[in-house]
Structure 1
Amino acid sequence: MSKEALKIVTIGGGSSYTPELIEGYIKRKDQLPIKEIVLVDIEAGKEKLEIVGEMAKRMVKAAGLDWKVELTLDRKAALQGADFVTTQFRVGLLDARVKDERIPLSHGVLGQETNGAGGMFKAFRTIPVILDIIKDMKEICPDAWLVNFTNPAGMVTEAAIKHGGWKKTVGLCNVPIGHCSTASEKLGIPEEELFFKFAGINHFHWHRVWDKTGKERTAELIDLIYGPNQSEEDSHLKNIHNAPFHYEQIKDLGLLPCGYHRYYYIEDEMLNHSIEEFEKGETRAQVVKETEARLFELYKDPQLDHKPDELSQRGGTHYSDAACEIIASIQNDKRTDMVVSTENNGTITDLPYDSIVEVSGAVTAHGVEPYNWGAFPPAARGIIQNMKAMEETVIRAAIDGDYGAALQAFTINPLVPGGTIAKTLLDEMLYAHKDYLPQFAEKIKEIEKNQPETVNYVDELMKSN
């Protein structure tokens, strides 16, 4: 791109992450000829939008920049003339995440934001909205890039590209950033002197590492991070329990796992920890609500004109800065090496050609050029093919409101027990999220009419929230 006056629109502008986004733009002021930043939210997020929006204006002013920062609840008006659109919204706000976690955990099943039943329901709520946004973009700003970091990022990005037809979409995640810094620390080698190759799907990828002499350091890192007597450090993942992997399993695999693989490789320990938190009324969503409340109290300070350190405790630190780098790399054809969700196009031979994968690649003016990975060893191939099939089924259910497809997705997902429990959970969560699932309206009416025990159970459970 060569436009000299950029307009960047953020949907979900009232997010607590927005100060990091503004900081990222300011850091790249010499790379991004920004004229206007528009922060968009919905009526329910109006108060937070005004608080964080005023702080964004203070940050821009303190940086000595003349960028125009606008706040609006009118998405269509905001999209007029947009060059980049970033998405960081949460349908149903944090109360929906509380339900995603607490309802499964009440049955002894993992409740988590992007994995298991909770992750699937976040996709059910989110995918119709991203497709509606794309519908507006096609009419209003057909040349704009969409940078998505709304979770579950992989499924949302796949829906945008494959079903919304918006090829100019890039999805991103902050997790690989922490894994890169851990490798650098363990090897004692600056990050810029290492080469990383990631491959998989969002929150379910593996990676390999080489140094500047061409020597692969993956096996050494497995020993350093996961070996006997080593203290594993995944402190960058604030939102998941830091339980140790089984060294022998990772050694046999020969690949460095994503931190989220804990939910699959050591499911029992992760589940037990989550149940303990649930019983104490301390699920991650409840903790995040408290953290976010403190952040917005800070943001109200008329003297605060920089991102506070406390934001790093929110759990998604680096997301926004990565989004800024994607924009800068596209704008300037920087070809920055990043880990993103993009079209597979043969990069991973074990997954469908047209699927969306999370891989390393160069971010260019024409999009992402992924680095070829090839095939996975059987132990990784089997589980990732299952996970991709689950994602595809979730997306189909989210778009069509197909109850059978939703039940199929619950059955496929490794973190949800099949049979009666899968159906029970599905019905309870459909009812719990009824305000945000219009595509399932008929089924939800049926549940309300014929399953009073489901309705009563959920109502009583959420009273204790």
Structure 2
Amino acid sequence: MLPTSGERSPHPRVKIAVVGGGSTYTPELIDGFARLRDALPVAELVLIDPAAERLELIGALARRIFARQGHPGRITWTADLDAGLDGADAVLLQLRVGGQAARNQDETWPLECGCVGQETTGAGGLAKALRTVPVVLDIAERVRRRCPDAWIVDFTNPVGIVTRALLSHGHKAVGLCNVAIGFQRKFAKLLGVAPERVELEHIGLNHLTWERAVRVDGTDVLPTLLARHGDALADDVRMPRPLLDHLGVVPSYYLRYYYQHDAVVKELRTKPSRAAEVAAIERQLLDLYADPDLAEKPELLSRRGGAYYSEAAVALTSSLLGGGTAGDVQIVNTLNHGTLPFLPDDAVIEVPAAVDSRGASPLPLRPLAPLFAGLVANVTAYEHLALEAALKGGRDRVFSALLAHPLIGQIDYADRLADELIAHNREHLTWA
């Protein structure tokens, strides 16, 4: 179950470090830490980012949010990663290597080849992984040196590949996405029940998941949800209602890139990239953040994306630091370890898991039907090859990962996309 309030057993006040703290999204996190302080009593929250001007704006707003909500914790900020990490109990990663400019490229050049342009999926997602994995692993090594007992909570996309990189290098890490908590809140609203009564059977990989059951007080109400609210759910995930009825599940929004690839490519070619939209929103947000009278997250932030991340982040961090309760279950990205028997043990899956100070242990799951398992296995193979390319470099590895991806999979596409990816990301690839 995804917790929604501070119903946790007490634990010592902690220090949290947020790497990428200069993000315009950070006030959402700050608001969550302030509201849910009984769940996670933060003594110090340090924002770490090389973008000094943005960091100053957001750090000052963070202090005002804490003060407005009566939170006694101390907020600091620094561009010095090592200094910020010292003594941290948990490190939250929310960085974007290359910024929105690189994201804009990820979302545009694949379209020129007739493939989806998206920051976590397909060729754009591979580009982001290649830029991001080496940087995250460097940060994680510094975490190991400066605060060796700290847990790393990764929000950084592509979460599945980044989390797999961290775990394969022996780091204490769990990946987190907001898709599950978003569905939980939506289903609760449709059903007219409190969110904490809703438990999801959420299964798959990061950004490749299905809601296979929706339990309220232990009873699966997914058939009722589909029957009564199928049109609204189909609109939400932007897929046809008959598809949801056929599948008998609610797919995540990201499945439309697979189930309707060509239609999505046609659509994306007719409008500005999401990166361009986000960049415009960020400029407006920074203007708002500069107002010394602003002491709460602005409504505009809801258009930035990442709804409910703060609640999920607080719940997960609290559990990892020993503040959870027995049987605390959250939906996270962690090692497979036989949970889906058709995948390698070291694959990273996104499923309900028992979370405590030892980490996340996936709960046993019913077998996954071939209609879903085939796609999961295919994308897992791609993620393995993507991580190999991110760790070792080389055009041949990039080509192999692209060829293996179900949204690409053709020699001519993979060949051209490999050259485009390297050309657009050369400054971030040490081997190129």
TM-score, with length taken from structure 2:
0.92
Counterpart in the other structure of 1:349:
341
Q: In structure 2, what is the equivalent of residue 120 of structure 1?
A: 126
Match of 1:156 among 134, 140, 162: 162
Distance in structure 2 (CA, Å) of the matches to 1:20 and 1:128: 27
Shift of 1:8: 0.8
Superposition RMSD on alpha carbons, in Å?
2.0
- Give the counterpart of 2:251 among 257, 260, 265: 257
The answer (yes or no) to whether the contact 1:18–1:320 under 8 Å persists in 2 is no
State which of 308, 315, 319 in structure 1 corresponds to 2:298: 308
Residue 318 (structure 1) aligns with: 308
Q: Which runs of 5+ in 2 are unaligned?
A: 1-8
Distance 1:272 1:338, change over 3 A: same
Q: Percent identity?
A: 38
Partner residue, 2:397? 405
What is the alpha-carbon distance in structure 2 between the residues aligned to residue 36 and residue 182 of structure 1? 33
Structure 1: gaps of 5 or more residues: 236-241, 442-465
- Aligned to 2:362, which of 370, 382, 398? 370
Higher RCO (CA < 8 A, seq sep 6+): 2
Does residue 34 (structure 1) correspond to residue 49 (structure 2)? The answer is no
Aligned to 1:109: 115
Secondary structure class of the residue paired with 2:277: helix
Deviates more, 1:367-376 or 1:399-408: 367-376
Shift of 1:178: 1.9
2:170 to 160, 165, 172: 165
- In structure 2, what is the equivalent of residue 361 of structure 1? 353
Amino acid across the alignment from 2:26: T
Output the CA distance in 1 between the equivalents of 2:218 and 2:106.
Answer: 45
* Residues 57-106 of structure 1: CA deviation (Å, up to 9, x unaligned): 11122233332221111111111111000000000000000110111112
Q: Structure 1 residues 387, 224: CA separation in 2 closer, same or farther (over 3 Å shift)?
A: farther
2:226 matched to 1:222?
yes
Mean alpha-carbon deviation: is it higher for 77-86 or for 370-379?
A: 370-379
- Supply the distance in 2 between the matched residues of 1:185 and 1:62 (Cα, whole angstroms): 28
Q: 2:31 aligns with which of 13, 20, 23?
A: 23
Letter in 1 for 2:176: L
Per-residue Cα deviation, 1:97-129 (whole angstroms, up to 9, x for no partner): 011011111233210011111111101111111
State the distance in 1 between where 2:296 and 2:263 align: 39
Which residue of the partner structure matches residue 434 of structure 1? 426
Cα distance in 2 for residues equivalent to 1:349 and 1:88: 31
Closer, same or farther: CA 276–210 of 1 in aligned 2, 3 Å:
closer
Partner of 2:6 in structure 1?
none
**Aligned counterpart, 2:374:** 382
Q: Closer, same or farther in 2 for the Cα pair 1:72/1:101, shift >3 Å?
A: same
Deviation for aligned residue 1:147? 0.5
- Equivalent pair of 1:410/1:422 in contact (CA under 8 Å): yes
Q: Is the CA contact (8 Å cut-off) linking 2:119 and 2:128 kept in structure 1?
A: yes
Distance 1:112 1:310 in 2: 23
Q: 2:198, 2:217 within 8 Å by CA — same for their partners in 1? A: no
- In structure 2, the CA distance between the partners of 1:211 and 1:379, relative to structure 1 (3 Å rule), is closer
Query: How far did residue 183 of structure 1 move?
Result: 2.4
Instruction: From 62, 71, 80, give the equivalent of 2:68.
Output: 62
3-state DSSP of counterpart to 2:108:
helix
Partner of 2:79: 73
Q: One-letter code of the match for 1:375?
A: P
Residues 1:184 and 2:188 are matched in the alignment: yes
Q: Structure 1: how far apart are the matches of 2:392 and 2:291? A: 45
3-state SS of paired residue (2:306): coil
Task: Give the superposition deviation at 1:417.
Answer: 5.0
